[in-house]
Amino acid sequence: MEDLQSGLQNRKLSLSTLPEKGRSLLATRDFYPGEVIISQEPYVCVPNNSSVSPQKRCDGCFTTINNNVLSRCSRCQLAFYCGTACQRSEWKLHRLECEVLSSLHKYKRKSLTPSIRLMLRLYLRRKLQNDKIIPSTAMDNYNLVEALVAHMSDITEEQLVLYAQMANLVNSILEWPGINIKEIAENFSKFACNAHTICDSELRPVGTGLYPVISIINHSCLPNSVLVFEGSSALVRAVQHIPSGTEVLISYIETAESTMTRQKALKEQYLFTCTCPRCSKVGQYDDIQESAILEGYKCKSEKCGGFLLRTTDGKGFQCQGCGLIRDKEEIKRITTEIKLLSEDASKPSATCNYQEAISIYKRIEKLQTELFHPLSINLMHTREKILKSLMELEHWTEALAYCKLTIPFYQRVYPAVHPLPGLQYYTCGKLEWYLGDTEEAVKSLTKAVDILRITHGTNTPFMKDLLMKLEEARTEASYKFSSKE
């Protein structure tokens, strides 16, 4: 591990071990908002392509080209490339992978999920490095994978059985003599708490990758850094001033959820109890109030706006503002109606028909408005779904109205610098501009740029496009202003 420590030292970082967290990454100089703290290429990665996904992604850069004009590997038929540059960069690994995959029986091909493919690639890449066909460096070697936490003694019996079955499948595909099935199962457990979902600039998931140095970074629900991706490269950017000697922290989960929901997610997938400054408030009045607003029920009285807590006899919920009791049966009735509608919304007839999806989600929205606080996370998710479908149907005016409805939620639950509100302002700005409200568009796009230049940098095609749009909107706004005079 000395090699890694000196690799990190050059980047003004250091590896430390904290008793309650294990390995941790510390800054050895001050980092400022927007600065890249560390970037890493994946040890291995796979795009989210499955046999059923209609749109395939390039194995090299994860792009989807319109009309799906990716070229497919003629031998194995499983790898896709956007051009020769990506095909060449992937060739050494894919040559081995192709040998393994092209001889696979039909029924085994069906079981090639992205995580099985990721595991195959892990072993193939290790072989390439062992055979010195590709070089190993301080930041790119299999020892770093070996050092990842696996939590084998903490996972459930069910998970253990699943990993063992998956390990058997990998073994039967590779057919390498002397391969250690227990080690493969352990590596699946490592994937579960160390691999990262690769997202595009708009935070849509596009693949999965293992970045063993970035995996040293621990979690906080109030992080000082953010993990973003440029193609398959991972970059950690500071979102706050990080003084020298401070631990670099990212968030592993959606931080808008209540403390209990966040803690449950962290415990289930990452097997630890978070004690970050937000989680330390669990049980305190502020935290109870916050959770009740996010996930609880609202007061029946429109004037009150208070939040409810379960009564001591368990028969209902009482408003903490005006004391009014809301009947448990009424809440149950609305909740059941929402559940049934949500089931309808996930049926193919609705997922393939945006108009039908909008109509179902609007009924859910109406019921949720009766039940939840206006800033509830459930209501926000429903409005997001309506917004997405409206955008697909190019119903811009209504889409803008829904986008604006979600903004107060984003402002309330996320820190000032977070990619999600930045992206929401961007959507708002694009819609306003499209609808001719240039002045408002300039305001929204400026807010988007102020946030996203910190989280995303300014050099990606996505950011260049946003900066150009802002420039054009500003020019148009000043032209409109001068022609009014």
Ligand X SMILES: C[S@@+](CC[C@H](N)C(=O)[O-])C[C@H]1O[C@@H](n2cnc3c(N)ncnc32)[C@H](O)[C@@H]1O
- Indicate whether 23 belongs to the interface with ligand X (CB under 6 A): yes
Phi, psi of 294 (to 5 degrees): -70, -45
Candidates 86-94, 265-273, 364-372, 447-455 — which segment interacts with ligand X by CB under 6 A?
265-273
Nearest to 188 by CA among 145, 134, 231: 145
Task: Select 148 or 338, whichever has its Cβ closest to ligand X.
Answer: 148
Nearest to 116 by CA among 200, 49, 205, 53: 49
The CA distances from residue 55 to 124, 238, 337, 394, in Å, are: 26, 33, 34, 21
Candidates 15-23, 433-441, 445-453, 473-481 — which segment interacts with ligand X by CB under 6 A?
15-23
Single out the residue of 139, 236, 274, 403 in contact with ligand X (rule: CB under 6 A). 274
- Indicate whether 216 belongs to the interface with ligand X (CB under 6 A): yes
Q: Min. distance of Cβ 276 from ligand X in angstroms? A: 6
Sign of CA dihedral 380, 298, 338, 266: positive
Candidates 88-96, 175-183, 270-278, 311-319 — which segment interacts with ligand X by CB under 6 A?
270-278
Q: Min. distance of Cβ 195 from ligand X in angstroms? A: 9
- Indicate whether 272 belongs to the interface with ligand X (CB under 6 A): yes
Binders in 133-192 for ligand X, by CB under 6 A: 148-149
Task: Select 249 or 473, whichever has its Cβ closest to ligand X.
Answer: 249
- Indicate whether 218 belongs to the interface with ligand X (CB under 6 A): yes
Q: Min. distance of Cβ 245 from ligand X in angstroms? A: 18
Single out the residue of 43, 163, 191, 270 in contact with ligand X (rule: CB under 6 A). 270
Candidates 167-175, 271-279, 415-423, 434-442 — which segment interacts with ligand X by CB under 6 A?
271-279
Single out the residue of 11, 21, 108, 395 in contact with ligand X (rule: CB under 6 A). 21
Task: Select 2 or 313, whichever has its Cβ closest to ligand X.
Answer: 2
Single out the residue of 189, 194, 291, 438 in contact with ligand X (rule: CB under 6 A). 194
Task: Select 186 or 370, whichever has its Cβ closest to ligand X.
Answer: 186
Candidates 163-171, 216-224, 403-411, 456-464 — which segment interacts with ligand X by CB under 6 A?
216-224
Angle of helix 181-194 relative to helix 114-130, nearest 10 degrees? 110
Sign of CA dihedral 451, 454, 459, 460: negative
Q: Min. distance of Cβ 397 from ligand X in angstroms? A: 44
Residue with tokens 């979102």: 239
Between strands 308-310 and 316-319, the pairing is: antiparallel
Task: Select 148 or 390, whichever has its Cβ closest to ligand X.
Answer: 148
- Indicate whether 271 belongs to the interface with ligand X (CB under 6 A): yes
Binders in 88-127 for ligand X, by CB under 6 A: none
Q: For residue 44, how far is the Cα from the chain centroid?
A: 18
Single out the residue of 2, 10, 19, 20 in contact with ligand X (rule: CB under 6 A). 20
Q: Which residues lie closer than 8 Å to 284 by C-beta, 6 or more apart?
A: none
Task: Select 3 or 330, whichever has its Cβ closest to ligand X.
Answer: 3
Candidates 236-244, 268-276, 301-309, 454-462 — which segment interacts with ligand X by CB under 6 A?
268-276
Task: Select 146 or 476, whichever has its Cβ closest to ligand X.
Answer: 146
- Indicate whether 259 belongs to the interface with ligand X (CB under 6 A): no
Task: Select 214 or 403, whichever has its Cβ closest to ligand X.
Answer: 214
Nearest to 270 by CA among 321, 196, 333: 196
Nearest to 249 by CA among 267, 274, 282: 274
Query: Hey, what are 13's tokens?
Result: 């970082």
Q: Min. distance of Cβ 302 from ligand X in angstroms? A: 41
- Indicate whether 193 belongs to the interface with ligand X (CB under 6 A): yes
Sheet arrangement for strand 196-199: 44-47, 205-210, 196-199
The answer to whether the CB of 239 falls within 8 A of the CB of 224 is: yes
Q: Min. distance of Cβ 151 from ligand X in angstroms? A: 6
- Indicate whether 219 belongs to the interface with ligand X (CB under 6 A): yes
Task: Select 17 or 137, whichever has its Cβ closest to ligand X.
Answer: 17
Task: Select 22 or 408, whichever has its Cβ closest to ligand X.
Answer: 22
What would the 3-class secondary structure string for 394-405 be? CCHHHHHHHHHH
Binding residues vs ligand X (CB under 6 A): 20-23, 148-149, 193-194, 215-216, 218-220, 270-272, 274
